[in-house]
Amino acid sequence: NDALRWSPLSTKAAVGVGIVKLADLQSDAVAFDRELARLMKQDPANPFLKILAGDSLLARGKATEAMQDYSAAVKIRPTLAEGWFRMGMVYDQQGRPGRALSSYEEAVKLSPSSPHYVDNLADQYFKHGQYDDAVKSLSTLDRFPLARLEMARIFRLTGTLEKAAESEQQAEGWLEDKSLLATVPENSDPWLIEGVRIPSRDQKICYARLSLSATLYLQGDQTGSARYGQLATQACGSQYLYIRGV
């Protein structure tokens, strides 16, 4: 707004303000697309508008067209991590793991502290069987419980049960800290694990405890396993069977 006051005819400033205001239109797809089209006429080479255009197309199932916008965004601004991240998402959906991996690697190189970028990169490493690389990536995320639970999944798969239990206990401890959502806002986002959506903090605690319960059982600690299974029931409430199905 200050830029507009000093230079009312500044197209870049006007478009920048318009991009911020677009967030208020996300619940109205028609109004959103209309305003997006107007802004793109004003600044057709704006990489952030390209990302938003791609998102709109992807939401309508037009992945190929969305990829064109994401590719255009990173061509205009190669350092735009979000563009590389979005490209990785589309490549993953299209079953092109090599391209997905290289796109996520570029996004993380540009923005190494972004939890979602690192998490998706680690998932690609996991799919490629590069377990050590996946764990190394996930371990860089501090106070991000999902990363520790994904590390635990890898440790269980490779038979490193002690490290799995340690990761799960750390995840549970972080989740019990109510300040976590304020310090790492991404922790308020829903988890999607094996197609199951886990949105609330209590459900996430439930999942962490169920995961730890399974690891303790594999370690032969049936008492500990039963204890955490009961604690998981308390956290989940009526959603216990739903979360347990993960």
Among 56, 51, 47, smallest CA distance to 28 is for: 56
pLDDT at 102 > cutoff 90: yes
Q: Which residue has the tokens 């998490």?
A: 119
Amino acid 14: pLDDT? 63
Q: What is the mean pLDDT of the chain?
A: 90
pTM for the predicted model, two decimal places:
0.84
Q: Using an 8 Å Cβ cutoff, are 191 and 198 in contact?
A: yes
pLDDT band at residue 13, thresholds of 50, 70 and 90? low
* The pLDDT of residue 6 is above 50: no
Query: In the prediction, which pLDDT does 119 show?
Result: 95
Q: What is the pLDDT of residue 230?
A: 94
Return all residues near 33 (Cβ < 8 A) that are at least 6 apart: 56
**Residue 5 pLDDT more than 50?**
no
* Contact by Cβ (8 Å): 51, 22: no
pLDDT for res 233: 92
Confidence check: pLDDT of 26 > 80: no
What pLDDT shows up at residue 65?
96
pLDDT on residue 98: 95
Instruction: Find the mean pLDDT for residues 64-77.
Output: 97
pLDDT, residue 8, reads 44
Three state DSSP letters for 126-186: HHCCCHHHHHHHHCCCCCCHHHHHHHHHHHHHCCCHHHHHHHHHHHHHHHHCCCHHHHCHH
pLDDT per residue as tens digits for the range 210-245: 999 999 999 999 999 999 999 999 998 877 777 777
Mean of the pLDDT values across residues 24-39?
83
Burial of 140 (0-12, 13-18, 19+ CB in 10 A): middle
CA 216 to CA 46: how far, in whole Å? Answer: 52
pLDDT band at 4; cut points 50, 70, 90: very low
